[in-house]
Structure 1
């Protein structure tokens, strides 16, 4: 609820005594300097009231933060630890999310499901090498990514590209900046009764049943056998 004029005036009067005390203690005993300092503080208070004590500025700020989070989503490497949370130290591949269906972003229906694909959309997993938790939001039967990305991320582990690779929404308690990763099957293990925190989780899932996440209809349509 925004402050009206009466509320603001009451708050200013309420703060007069402590303001005067601070003015004497820290702004000198000269009447002119104290008067100037107090007027500056009142002006700053009015600016704070205008910018932050109303609903609209907060809504605008929250929207800007959400947009920044969305813009900051990266697919990071699987072959080495991330040192700067929020940035891939090797190759930024956000621009490939939809192009050519890389990183399980293809809308192609995965039906039938290969028996080699061990895990399913909605399962919560832990990375065996790096220890972070996440939830599966997609998979490819074999790695589907730019060749340069595969060479740089997989390094000497050439066999990673021939096994199922999973699109993982990473828990922000493990990596504070919202991230996706693309992980070979052998580097994942299932965990139970663990909820994942990520700003995009509701885009993919309707709820959490205590064991796994339940996919939204559009996602279930792409992975009908999961």
Structure 2
């Protein structure tokens, strides 16, 4: 294919030489000597063009540059694909602890609302519920899935004052759970942080939420099975 293209370009250059020669002859000086010089200069220009762009060496050089260019694009694409894969693993399946830790740090650097990257091990005996269990809020009635928990409430002080009533000071010292809420009960894919005594576990209930697949691999009919990255944070759940 390279030789065919080269021959075509050479033929085109030679073919164009005839009308160019005619124009040079017609519009340049009338003396034969000056016309001859003009034609020689034109021929030299064509040879220079041919050597630079139509020679075998130039085509080999061009081919190498093209291959290197596409190789570079391929390498960049591989890097992008790898980054996309890592991102997916950070939100889904992961083969190490670091992706989960980084996701948690980006989500909330203070570790509020059960987003701390700390591994919950050993598991305190007084923590009643586990990630993957489906719950129903005793007061508000919405359903959801437990995606995390803290041994005691871990949230901004202002939030605790607003959300925990004055007659429930013990909520701060009890386990609190991060819940992804069923969109049929509350729209917009909400996530809540619920004190343990407000949770009632329900069975045979699937939850609809846009982040369900991010946290869980499947539903076994009773509860959701955590993905590896989440299981690493809660190894005993």
Q: TM-score range by the shorter chain?
A: 0.5 to 0.7
In structure 2, C-alpha distance between the alignment counterparts of 1:174 and 1:121, rounded to whole Å: 20
Residue aligned with 1:100, SS: coil
Q: Are 1:135 and 2:161 counterparts?
A: no
- From 112, 127, 142, give the equivalent of 2:122: 112
Residues 152-167 of structure 1 correspond to what in structure 2 (within 5 A)? Answer: 152-156=162-166, 157-167=168-178
Which structure 2 residues correspond to residues 9-48 of structure 1 after superposition, within 5 A?
none
User: When the two structures are aligned, how many residues end up with a matched partner?
Assistant: 132
Counterpart in 1 of 2:72? Answer: none
Distance 2:210 2:110 in 1: 25
Superposed CA deviations along residues 45-73 of structure 1, whole A, max 9, x for unmatched, are xxxxxxxxxxxxxxxxxxxxxxxxxxxxx
Pairing of 1:69-218 with structure 2 (within 5 A)? 97-156=107-166, 157-218=168-229
Q: CA RMSD in A?
A: 1.4
- Using the size of structure 1 for normalisation, the TM-score is 0.57
Q: Mapping of 1:49-64 within 5 angstroms?
A: none
Contact 1:168 1:183 in 2 (8 A): yes
SS in 1 for 2:112: helix
Q: Tell me the TM-score normalized by structure 2.
A: 0.54
Output one character per residue of 1:69-120: Cα deviation in whole Å (capped at 9) or x when no partner. Answer: xxxxxxxxxxxxxxxxxxxxxxxxxxx9412100000110000000110000
Separation in structure 1 between the aligned mates of residue 176 and residue 191 of structure 2, nearest angstrom: 13
- 1:14-56 CA distance string (max 9 Å, x none): xxxxxxxxxxxxxxxxxxxxxxxxxxxxxxxxxxxxxxxxxxx
CA contact (8 A) 1:139 1:167 kept: yes
* Cα drift, residue 155 of structure 1: 2.6
1:116-158 Cα deviation digits (max 9, x unpaired): 1000000000000000000000000000000111011113121
Structure 1, unmatched stretches of 5+, are: 1-95
Which protein shows a greater Rg?
Answer: 2
